[in-house]
Structure 1
């Protein structure tokens, strides 16, 4: 620190901010100052402070002023540009200094205090300014706001003009010392992005309150006391009419209650009343504790089926409407999620109120992450690292205080988190000590404290399945300090981040969930993450797309790493979310001996809110169905039921059992599917292979039934008069993010080195016999001696042509294959696809739980998944048959017994080269892959790769298909 600070570089720059207090709904008057403000943008922080007076007229630069909404980010409104980095600071690491080129926004607006306000004091509240703001009222400085996603309040009573117009002015800097504390894997976006409110405080107002609502599960009894701080030392009373409670604040009331849980979010309406103010209370009774290394709420172990959530909207960034918040929670509930981690800062206070009402467990996280120190070696105590440097202690503890004090009355919050990816250090200990003293009723979390010195739960991120298995057994690698090691082994364990959902993936969800459910110590986890953070953008000709890092000309960025959510930016569920819903379903089914076992996997409720049905299908056709009688099965219990006997008749018969909501809820209507299971009761008979027709030669072609082949190469030219591009061997998929070189188990470089992206097939022999046409060859790769000995054997009957494929590996293979199969092409008009097999969504070997067996129909366009960065997508696994139709003619393909398929309007090479969806342009062909399989997906972009059993090893492949017309 060898030069003078600018004020925005002070380690603890906040000035005149009032002590933090609880979020409340009150009858005290308030005035929203949201709306259009005058705005001026400057490229650095030293613009003249010439905008504080009653009018702008006569001030220099008045023409530079325009308007900007509050709340909003200026980069999304034509001033500057967004920047995306994941774990690097977009400026030199020289704490607490920031660049002299510090974009700055000046804001001003006028307001008048309503004449009917009968108040003693007036406060000014800012719910979010990124990254630092200085406030003036009527030309006098009010104070300085730091902590972008934290609430700040100021007493402006002495500065207000009650009987005339007031001028509020704010200067906001993009960079400040706080930027070192807010490196949170998101877009760097600036401005007043949460609401601004004027608050009237009457005589006798309630300054703060703390609701303590404990629950004794053994007694079925709640204990309620409410601490209240009232102006002037006056008294207050707590009234909960439904419970017959009317006591003084601070007095303890005990009464029988229904507890609050994420599954049954029971809230009691009450009020806290003083002589000057009434605050509405929404009380949820619950107890959070650790017992026998289990995370328990209300006496019962809970399993967190969670996700990490940033505030995000593709049009407004971190400016989030209540409708968007509610939609997020409703979708989480509908997809069987029961928990959310507020990564990596506290959300809008209204979001937590909605979690209270609708029911989610919440890990509420402090506005703190210093990930940018990781690339410059934070583990070796780099000078200035805020977690360790004592000069930062005040700022860090202040951030924790403002988190806890605002959100302390929310029953959904069961855990505080100190922050994310800040290394270790004594300042985290100071934060933890303050939080535990202030609120011992909640657990404390911080993932990087692997010693568990400061926390109540052991947490990691992106652990492998193997590591998770060991932790479940308390067999993880020991910590050097024996006492801390013993303490840690008696703690619950959770994965605060897992199954990184970047691009196509993740795989391995089901295996994680099986481990969570096997070991009582494992408390579940939070997937990374909820939303893809693509910003809605348009090409020069108006085509919409969602932008990621680098699309705004950033000098340094982390590309599409911002697109790692299970919901697309437009709010559409990704295939991963459907997979997650199935894996997390709270009711499970297993089938054996003509009976079905139904297990209640809820933590706190029976199954009386669900209705159970069964359906029987044969080759996809509905045969029978009805209701299934399931008693009000208690949490954790299992019942075994008889199911209807299989119907007589031909075809593969499949029994499906479903659990649906019996009545409307706040988050889904009656009939919404919560869980399902399937069993094949009668397996399918093998489809016949075409045979009996001999090949013959016509000019330069070989004719076999309805198929015509090139006489020299044996390549297919047409099927029943349909022009085709001959099937060619395909060993490539457009690399998914989990394959790429930055992943934990990179495959792409080795795949390209071998040449799997450009396979070369050499025909060695074309052999005609009485019963078949056989093409023998070698599949090779440029510059490599690896390959496959191949045989394509064609047979035909009067109305069908069959192809048997055999490929045997040559050479010393050392890597799994991306895919193995054949690719052919049809005219573009063959755009309607039907199939019988798992569906309707895409599925892969390690991501197939959500695909249910049935008959499905989609257009070619509907079979594509629009990942923000184009990559392999749209695979349908284990199809029994599929067909492509142009509306007049249909080509049906039977598999012997199953085949994976994709159908696209472009080749895999085109998909591989595209950087955005608008780079993909349809060809005049429909490209059809018929594959033996693909490697699984894994979550290697930030986590473990594909499990061994789900890799496509270079073994001998044998499979067959039959084309019918």
Structure 2
């Protein structure tokens, strides 16, 4: 059997060890390498005789993936293997990339021609999926485990000058069967390559044990090292101890995600000096709850694949740092490294800035689910060594990171003896951390009960420890006593996710429920251009792959360029660590500290008072430094009175950082709350004299009613305040379906129901046009072709002359007719204005989009943006951009003219330069070409969003059912 098909982890690599820096010499081999790609292994082997020639070689940067540099193409699958499943065999068509680097050693590099002065190791931090290493024609070894480090001893083969390092990388190998991880298949040397000098007496390995006893406030410290002879110093604590010695450290400050306190230390041996960063903390399960340093945790987490739109998994350090800062700024306190260990530099950042980490082994065999898990490597003895090797390389590399509180055996690999063996190995090596694996529903080999996408109802039952029992009473009792997390929930694909608030309410209600991890952090869209040169982000199928899973890789809280999506802003609001409940009538605010560890001394609170969206007063709010879990009711200042006719009044309270932190500047908003003190004024236009304007015939037989003209045959609006109405206002029930509408099942999704019942093809019948002297009344019925149900509609137009111009009012009365078989997508009025209107100002929910179950982040205020800014550029185009609770909106053009729309009392506004049909047909944002018409939706209601792309659908309170509805809007000129 070939080395790349052998299930074993490889040959020649040294035993795994901790990742650490030292004062010993290192040489980065990153940079431009020679590269050539072969379609099969046989082609590569046939070319071995020409290795020394320049024929066929091109330059390729290392680290990188060759498919992102014009060699072959990326391909994306979620679960299915993109090759025939016959483990451990792989196809003959196996892209194989030869990488070659010719390099010299620095003049002062110790050895290799000066006698025994230690040795030099060659380290690879990540290569996908299998590789063979040769140095100066001598084979050093082979390795698998794409996201894991491997080191090779260069032995006597390293030269002072003219070294030739050859690395043959195979895209497919036995390792591919255990790396089926819902991501782009991207081969190559994608993490760094380094030469490491290991002098005589150097540290082979180091294991820091730094615990904390919350009852005494003392820490404990032991540093194990190989070889064992060494001294550890911690200058800040005045400590010096021998390796292997355990000492008590009084008065130490513990490490936590909220206070990531690190102590600089040094391990010294005869051969080198190794800097260490110590974080004192103790992880445990106490009384069925995960605790760190005696405090229970509530994980506000995300799953993070390594991804960059230009570099794939070769993520630059600056981007890793950006990820951590974005997480901290959006109230995220935990990350699961789905589904493999990340670049070790990312964990350094988690230590430094403070994030709880579930570190996950490089293991997933999800594709075997299509054959009922037959042949699954997780249960095949032939794969035991490989899987334990993957666990060991993760644990040994990352064991000194205080941020890592759980080891995860992997993801979606079924069950089996090899997972049990991995668990035993980890528990023996590191009993001070917890073990996680969602696939072990019995929890026989884990310390937490973990699930994916459990419904709200099931999560609540688990919170009450009343879940469905296991058949084995012993295991059932064990599982029922364990803490629970949702390692994946709230699938952040496209518009959404909905239902976050209801999940968080459960997490905060039941102590057993210790939070979860949203799937996932970032959309995996690769930067590309279409045939016309227009930029877009590519997903599965865009590279001509015969087997792919479309845009399922675009399921993150960040867009591929790391712009926060509305979903991330919603998540930040839902999980904010300070509860702010404003009672505007009583002039009080209840503040609750939801942090795990810190009090509120680091936050500054302030209040503001807005009338009709304009701030009329503001001030500081004195809030005591509440401890975690404590609440206090604080009085709001008396800010004087405002006359009743001055309009709607809101109070907003904000909590911001009082001082600069490592992750955000002073003034960064952490949490906010808002409440209405008084509703809108009784009169719509204060002091106006309202006079009815009668309908009359005009030129061409049109009807005129105030600032509008109408078709006398069907009563449709033709012009409005001098603007051409390209699409007359009429009832609209359809929206461009979202990823969550479509869900994973084309037959049962709500989108399938909408299409099956032809809600995207509604027909409009005019039943009558009546002019009664003061109003124009149009009666109609709206129904789908072939349907035995519909909506009866009465449009009533009235005109008013006011002190500031004329207003055209529309009231729409909607009555269901017949038995409606499914929810409605939306319910409102759609119209199109042919005019260069490109600026929108509105008073209502904002600044971003919101829908019934994704509206926590929307606050009432006065906002403004362009029409382009009104759009949310999801990687796969879909319904987006709705602003809810709009009292009024003004649309303006370059000349200052435009239109004002007032709600009776409020509506949801969508504005775009393409139709719903065009939006539905588009596959990338670049497909949407603006036209001269501004298309508006004025909605009375929307169906919720949910998270059915992977998880629960829309919760019952947010389903839009056909019911008697009234919508009122008024059209005037901008003020």
TM-score, reference length from structure 1: 0.97
**1:686: Cα distance to partner?**
5.1
Q: Residue 790 of structure 2 aligns with which residue?
A: 787
Match of 1:328 among 298, 323, 327: 323
Q: Residue 612 of structure 2 aligns with which residue?
A: 619
**1:138: Cα distance to partner?**
1.1
Alpha-carbon distance between aligned partners in 2 of 1:762 and 1:197, rounded to the nearest angstrom? 73
1:844 aligns with 2:851: yes
Question: What pairs up with 1:366-381 in 2 under 5 angstroms?
Answer: 366-378=361-373
Listed one character per residue, the Cα deviations across residues 256-300 of structure 1 (whole Å, up to 9, x for unaligned) are 200000000000000011010111010000011111111111101
Alpha-carbon distance between aligned partners in 1 of 2:502 and 2:681, rounded to the nearest angstrom? 31
Q: Residue 495 of structure 1 aligns with which residue?
A: 486
Listed one character per residue, the Cα deviations across residues 910-944 of structure 1 (whole Å, up to 9, x for unaligned) are 00000111111111100011111110100000000
Q: Residue 962 of structure 2 aligns with which residue?
A: 954
Alpha-carbon distance between aligned partners in 2 of 1:64 and 1:113, rounded to the nearest angstrom? 27
Q: Residue 171 of structure 1 aligns with which residue?
A: 168
Alpha-carbon distance between aligned partners in 2 of 1:684 and 1:508, rounded to the nearest angstrom? 30
Match of 1:648 among 620, 642, 652: 642
1:760 aligns with 2:757: no
Alpha-carbon distance between aligned partners in 1 of 2:234 and 2:42, rounded to the nearest angstrom? 54
Q: Residue 32 of structure 1 aligns with which residue?
A: 28
Query: Does the aligned pair in 1 maintain the 2:795–2:812 contact within 8 Å?
Result: yes
Query: Does the aligned pair in 2 maintain the 1:737–1:743 contact within 8 Å?
Result: no
Match of 1:729 among 728, 731, 741: 731
Q: Residue 937 of structure 2 aligns with which residue?
A: 929
Alpha-carbon distance between aligned partners in 1 of 2:48 and 2:23, rounded to the nearest angstrom? 32
Query: Does the aligned pair in 2 maintain the 1:52–1:167 contact within 8 Å?
Result: no
860-869 or 592-601: which moved more?
Answer: 592-601
**1:782: Cα distance to partner?**
1.0
Alpha-carbon distance between aligned partners in 1 of 2:158 and 2:723, rounded to the nearest angstrom? 81
1:486 aligns with 2:477: yes
Query: Does the aligned pair in 2 maintain the 1:617–1:623 contact within 8 Å?
Result: yes
After superposition, the Cα gap between the structure-2 partners of 1:314 and 1:524, relative to the gap in structure 1 and judged at 3 Å, is same
Query: Does the aligned pair in 1 maintain the 2:496–2:567 contact within 8 Å?
Result: yes
Give the aligned CA root-mean-square deviation in angstroms.
1.4
Q: Residue 814 of structure 1 aligns with which residue?
A: 821
Match of 1:677 among 659, 673, 677: 673
Alpha-carbon distance between aligned partners in 2 of 1:691 and 1:184, rounded to the nearest angstrom? 68
Query: Does the aligned pair in 1 maintain the 2:828–2:967 contact within 8 Å?
Result: no
**1:515: Cα distance to partner?**
0.6
Alpha-carbon distance between aligned partners in 1 of 2:745 and 2:759, rounded to the nearest angstrom? 19
Alpha-carbon distance between aligned partners in 1 of 2:967 and 2:832, rounded to the nearest angstrom? 19
Q: Helix, strand or coil for the counterpart of 1:577?
A: helix
Q: Residue 88 of structure 2 aligns with which residue?
A: 96
**1:691: Cα distance to partner?**
6.5
Question: What pairs up with 1:731-880 in 2 under 5 angstroms?
Answer: 731-740=733-742, 742-743=744-745, 746-798=749-801, 799-880=806-887
Q: Residue 407 of structure 1 aligns with which residue?
A: 398
Q: Residue 114 of structure 2 aligns with which residue?
A: none
Alpha-carbon distance between aligned partners in 2 of 1:69 and 1:696, rounded to the nearest angstrom? 75
Query: Does the aligned pair in 1 maintain the 2:582–2:653 contact within 8 Å?
Result: no
**1:374: Cα distance to partner?**
1.3
Query: Does the aligned pair in 2 maintain the 1:341–1:526 contact within 8 Å?
Result: yes
1:43 aligns with 2:39: yes
**1:376: Cα distance to partner?**
2.0
Match of 2:237 among 240, 243, 261: 243
647-656 or 396-405: which moved more?
Answer: 647-656
Q: Helix, strand or coil for the counterpart of 1:43?
A: strand
Listed one character per residue, the Cα deviations across residues 472-496 of structure 1 (whole Å, up to 9, x for unaligned) are 1011111111111111111110000
933-942 or 592-601: which moved more?
Answer: 592-601
Q: Helix, strand or coil for the counterpart of 1:825?
A: strand
**1:210: Cα distance to partner?**
0.3
Q: Helix, strand or coil for the counterpart of 2:216?
A: coil
Query: Does the aligned pair in 2 maintain the 1:837–1:880 contact within 8 Å?
Result: yes
1:562 aligns with 2:556: no
Query: Does the aligned pair in 2 maintain the 1:691–1:795 contact within 8 Å?
Result: no
Alpha-carbon distance between aligned partners in 1 of 2:206 and 2:467, rounded to the nearest angstrom? 42
877-886 or 847-856: which moved more?
Answer: 877-886
**1:155: Cα distance to partner?**
1.1
Alpha-carbon distance between aligned partners in 2 of 1:661 and 1:334, rounded to the nearest angstrom? 11
**1:49: Cα distance to partner?**
4.3
Q: Residue 145 of structure 2 aligns with which residue?
A: 147
Listed one character per residue, the Cα deviations across residues 112-149 of structure 1 (whole Å, up to 9, x for unaligned) are 23332344111110111100000011111100011000
Query: Does the aligned pair in 1 maintain the 2:582–2:652 contact within 8 Å?
Result: no
Query: Does the aligned pair in 1 maintain the 2:125–2:147 contact within 8 Å?
Result: yes
Q: Residue 180 of structure 1 aligns with which residue?
A: 177
Listed one character per residue, the Cα deviations across residues 6-25 of structure 1 (whole Å, up to 9, x for unaligned) are 32110114001111000101
**1:160: Cα distance to partner?**
1.6
Q: Residue 892 of structure 2 aligns with which residue?
A: 885
Listed one character per residue, the Cα deviations across residues 666-685 of structure 1 (whole Å, up to 9, x for unaligned) are 11111111111101111223
**1:694: Cα distance to partner?**
2.2
Alpha-carbon distance between aligned partners in 2 of 1:687 and 1:963, rounded to the nearest angstrom? 16
Alpha-carbon distance between aligned partners in 2 of 1:41 and 1:777, rounded to the nearest angstrom? 66
Q: Residue 113 of structure 2 aligns with which residue?
A: none
Query: Does the aligned pair in 2 maintain the 1:7–1:13 contact within 8 Å?
Result: no
Query: Does the aligned pair in 2 maintain the 1:727–1:822 contact within 8 Å?
Result: yes
Q: Residue 248 of structure 2 aligns with which residue?
A: 254
1:304 aligns with 2:304: no
TM-score, reference length from structure 2: 0.96
Q: Residue 286 of structure 1 aligns with which residue?
A: 281
Listed one character per residue, the Cα deviations across residues 92-112 of structure 1 (whole Å, up to 9, x for unaligned) are 111111111000001111222
Listed one character per residue, the Cα deviations across residues 840-874 of structure 1 (whole Å, up to 9, x for unaligned) are 10000000000011011111110000001110000
Alpha-carbon distance between aligned partners in 1 of 2:261 and 2:507, rounded to the nearest angstrom? 27
Alpha-carbon distance between aligned partners in 2 of 1:431 and 1:178, rounded to the nearest angstrom? 17
Query: Does the aligned pair in 1 maintain the 2:14–2:151 contact within 8 Å?
Result: yes
Listed one character per residue, the Cα deviations across residues 187-208 of structure 1 (whole Å, up to 9, x for unaligned) are 0000111111111001100100
Q: Residue 208 of structure 1 aligns with which residue?
A: 205
Question: What pairs up with 1:422-821 in 2 under 5 angstroms?
Answer: 422-592=413-583, 593-645=586-638, 647-649=641-643, 650-685=646-681, 688=684, 692-698=692-698, 699-724=700-725, 725-740=727-742, 742-743=744-745, 746-798=749-801, 799-821=806-828
Q: Helix, strand or coil for the counterpart of 1:942?
A: coil
Match of 1:943 among 936, 951, 967: 951
Q: Helix, strand or coil for the counterpart of 2:493?
A: coil
After superposition, the Cα gap between the structure-2 partners of 1:687 and 1:322, relative to the gap in structure 1 and judged at 3 Å, is farther
Gaps of 5+ in 1: none
Q: Helix, strand or coil for the counterpart of 1:320?
A: coil
Listed one character per residue, the Cα deviations across residues 727-784 of structure 1 (whole Å, up to 9, x for unaligned) are 0211110000111152596111211121111111101011111321110011111111
Alpha-carbon distance between aligned partners in 2 of 1:248 and 1:785, rounded to the nearest angstrom? 84
Query: Does the aligned pair in 2 maintain the 1:181–1:386 contact within 8 Å?
Result: yes
1:134 aligns with 2:141: no
Q: Helix, strand or coil for the counterpart of 2:4?
A: helix
Gaps of 5+ in 2: 111-116
**1:577: Cα distance to partner?**
0.5
Query: Does the aligned pair in 1 maintain the 2:708–2:718 contact within 8 Å?
Result: yes
Alpha-carbon distance between aligned partners in 2 of 1:108 and 1:503, rounded to the nearest angstrom? 41
1:15 aligns with 2:11: yes
Alpha-carbon distance between aligned partners in 1 of 2:391 and 2:83, rounded to the nearest angstrom? 26
Alpha-carbon distance between aligned partners in 2 of 1:888 and 1:182, rounded to the nearest angstrom? 58
After superposition, the Cα gap between the structure-2 partners of 1:56 and 1:90, relative to the gap in structure 1 and judged at 3 Å, is closer
Alpha-carbon distance between aligned partners in 1 of 2:892 and 2:107, rounded to the nearest angstrom? 72
Question: What pairs up with 1:911-930 in 2 under 5 angstroms?
Answer: 911-930=919-938
650-659 or 5-14: which moved more?
Answer: 5-14
